[in-house]
Structures are given as C-alpha cells and as structure tokens.
Amino acid sequence: MTIRRTYPLFLLVCLLIGMIAVLAAVNLWYLQRLHSRSLHETATRSVLDLGAELVRTLASQPVVQSAKDDPSRWTEFGRLVRSLKGAEPSLHYVNVNEGNVTLYHEDTSVVTHDAPTGTKAGEVRVGRKILAAGRELVPVLTFTAVIPDVGGQERVVQIALRREAVQQREEQAGRLLEIMFRLSVITLTVALGLAGVFGVWVLRQEMERQRRRRDEEHLAFAGLLADGIIHDVRNPMSSLRLDIQLLEKEAGKGSEGRLARIAELAARARNTMDRVDLVMREFLYVSRPGARAPERFDVNACVQDCVTLLGPRFESAEIILECRLDPGPLEVTGQAVAVKRAVINVLTNAKQVSTTGGRVTLTTRRDGHQAVLDIEDEGPGIQESHRTRIFEMFVTGRPDGTGLGLYLARAAVENSGGTIAAANRPQGGARFTIRLPLAA
C-alpha cells in the first residue's frame, strides 16, 4: 500500500517539476521577445541620436557657418568627414547645399539628395531615402540641419546613415542577450536537474522511512496479536486441562468409572477445542481480512451466539448482560465471524469498564435499510481526549489495555460494509452503535 501511495507522489513531483520547467521556458521566451523589441528601439534611438549629433557637428564647422567660400577650408572639412566615416562606417554621404548649388559633396553614389522642406533653423530633420549604388539599392536615414542667413542664403547640411547601422547595433546587443539567455537556460536546467535528483532522493528516503515504520508497526501488531491469542486461548486451555485431569481420574477407577461422567468430560473437552479452533480462525481472519467470502447471516443469531459465549464471564463478574432482540429477522450480507468478533470486543470492553452489579444492554432494531445494534454500559464513559481516536490502533484508556480491541472491531464492521460509532450516554456510560446494511 505504501508503494501504491508513493508512485502517485512521485508522479506528482515529476509533474510539478515539469510545470515549473514549462513555466520558466515560457517566461524566458516572453522576456526574450520583450528584450528583442527593446533592443530594436534602443538601436534605432542610438542611430538617430548619432545622426543628429553628427549633422550638428558638421553644421557647426566654421567653413559651413562662413559666407566666404574658401577652398582650403572645404579641404579640411573633407578630411573631417572622412575621419568621421572611418569612425562610423555607416556614414554614407555628406552634402552641403546653398540653394540649388552644392558646396560640398562626399560619396558619389548619391542619386538624390534634395534637402527636405520645412526644416527650421537649429532643428534636425530625420528622413528616409533609397539610394542607387550601381545596381544595389541602399536604404538610408537622412539627417538635415539648416543654417539661416549665411551671406543672405540658407545653407543645408545633410548626412545619410545606412539603415543597416540599426541592425548592426541590434545584432551586437542581441549577441550579448543571447549569451545571457543561454546562461539562464543552462542555470535553469541545472537547477531543475538538481531539484529532480533531490526530489528522487527525498522520495527514496520517505519510502525507506515508511518501510521501516511499516515493519515496526507489523512487529508491534504481531506482538499485540500474540497477546490477544494468548489471552483468548489461556482460559479454554485451563478448562481443557482440568477436564482432562478429571477424565484421567474417572478413567483410573476402572470398572467403577462412570461412563456418563466420562462422556460428559469428553464432550466438554471437545467443545473447548472447538472454541480454541474458532478463536484461531478468528485471528487468522484478522491477519487476512479479505480471505473470507461474504455470507448471509442473521444479526440476531450472531448477537445471541456472542451472549452465549460471554455469558459465563459476565456472571462470574456479577455484571448483568441484558439482550433485547428485534422480533423480526435482521439478515445482512457480510462476514459473520468478523461481526461476532466486533461484538465480542465491544462487550469485553463494556465488561472491563463496568463495576459489580452494573448492566450491559444489547439491543437490535431495524432502521430503514439498516440493521442497528446498540451496546450500552454504565461505566465512566469515554474520555474526552479519546473520543475522536477511540477506534485507532493502540489507543486505550486503561493501563493494562492493548488498544487493539476496538480497532479490530471497526475493521471487522467496515469489512462487512457497515459502520461503528461511539458516544457517551446522557445518564452515564457509553453507547456503541453498529450499523450494517440489510440484505436485499
């Protein structure tokens, strides 16, 4: 049973680890999408800032700000442009126009470089163009700055950055992001692997602990079961020993021996052995409750057999055992020996808590589709601390008790499809109620 309980627990642990892994993978994928989008926006913003800064830098050069056309200065401006192209390979062209006149031009691959209209002085306007470089079309981002009133004219400085600069910056950051996510996946995989190994180790430790506890419980149960067997067999064996001694004494008289007395003692010895055999079969049922097939029996007859068996014990203890049977038959389907054992255990418990002159009452009745057996005593009742645990194994309120009788009673009744409950009576004492479904 422990193994059957452990496998669902193992599957639950595996399912939990799998769900955590799937959830972590989905989160990583979603974070990667968000970071990729953020990288694209960041790379675009970086290129835009770079282009605006470059065009402002070129527009602030003295040769561009001066109305005097000095070729030597334009040569220095060209060196500046080429140094900028060396530092930023995505710089595609630089143009400086004054009206329809081109004052400076770098990179002859430009086909169209008309200055966009509507750009105010001090502002940088960003645009898009597709340039023809031979047979290749090059998409670029244009950045335009206007310098007003230079010799009575407006000068327009325009640069172009290849749009692939955005992709290059995005790829550079993306490689770092990919490395980070790979490390995250490796870390997550290692963590889940360690969690799985730890879970399996804990599960094996729990299985071993349950096995040891089960073995200990079996040993304790076997010891208590042996005590019960000794307790139930000792009295019949004492009677059997006495009967055999009397039988030997009567047989030793020879012809003076009384045949009737010998026959009586032999019958008593046979009945005692039958009782011992019944006890042993009952304990065999306790050790293997599913070995006996269900049968149809009358609850009244079962109760009457128990009263007949325990009657002498109650008489010797000077306790009244009263039996009130339902007038009609109360036939149920179950295991008669088990139900008898349950009734005997409850009656024995009632006798042990009763005082001299006390009364124990058995009542059978029909309640709908159930046969009900009430066993009431006039003892001290059930302790509050034991009320919810009275049918558990090894729970007892007596110092010399084994805590096994009521546990076996509950197991026997439940194996027959019934229930057993305990409560205190308002007038004192305890009431045990056994309910069994009536046979169809």
Domain that holds residue 360: 292-437
> Which CATH number covers residue 366?
3.30.565.10
Distances 440 to 329, 332, 339, 437 between C-alpha atoms, Å: 13, 8, 19, 9
> Which CATH number covers residue 120?
3.30.450
Q: Which long-range contacts (C-beta less than 8 Å, at least 24 apart) are formed by 361-365?
A: 361/322, 361/323, 361/324, 362/303, 362/307, 362/321, 362/322, 362/323, 362/324, 363/324, 364/299, 364/300, 364/303, 364/324, 364/325, 364/326, 364/330, 365/326
* 241 domain-assigned: no
* 314 domain-assigned: yes
CA neighbor of 21 nearest in space, from 192, 233, 238, 210: 192
* 209 domain-assigned: no
* 355 domain-assigned: yes
CA neighbor of 119 nearest in space, from 145, 154, 95, 90: 145
Domain boundary among 107, 136, 162: 162
Q: 320 falls in which pLDDT band (50, 70, 90)?
A: very high
Chain position carrying tokens 């009430």: 374
Report the alpha-carbon distance of residue 364 to residue 325 in Å, rounded.
Answer: 5
Chain position carrying tokens 């005097």: 68
* DSSP 8-state symbol, 153: E
* 199 domain-assigned: no
Q: 375 falls in which pLDDT band (50, 70, 90)?
A: very high
pLDDT digits (tens, 9 = 90+) for 53-102: 888 888 888 887 777 667 777 888 888 888 888 888 888 888 888 877 88
3-state helix, strand, coil in the chain (%, to 5): 55, 20, 20
| Residue 339 CB partners (closer than 8 Å, separation 6+) | 297, 299, 302, 412, 413, 416, 418, 434, 436
Report whether pLDDT(382) > 70: yes
Report whether pLDDT(360) > 80: yes
Chain position carrying tokens 């960003």: 126
408: tokens are: 């076996």
Domain boundary among 130, 162, 194: 162
| Residue 11 CB partners (closer than 8 Å, separation 6+) | none
Report the alpha-carbon distance of residue 344 to residue 340 in Å, rounded.
Answer: 6
As for how many domains the chain has, the answer is 2
| Residue 94 CB partners (closer than 8 Å, separation 6+) | 58, 81, 104, 105, 106, 107, 157, 158, 159, 160
The chain-wide mean pLDDT, for the chain, equals 78
Domain boundary among 162, 177, 201: 162
pLDDT digits (tens, 9 = 90+) for 208-263: 887 888 777 666 666 666 666 666 676 677 777 887 888 787 777 777 667 787 78
* 2 domain-assigned: no
Cα-to-chain-centroid distance, residue 294: 37
CA neighbor of 358 nearest in space, from 318, 324, 323, 308: 318
Burial degree of 297 (CB within 10 A; 0-12, 13-18, 19+): buried
* 277 domain-assigned: no
| Average of per-residue pLDDT across 395-399 | 57
Amino acid present at 84: L
Q: How many CB atoms lie within 10 A of CB 313?
A: 14
* 384 domain-assigned: yes
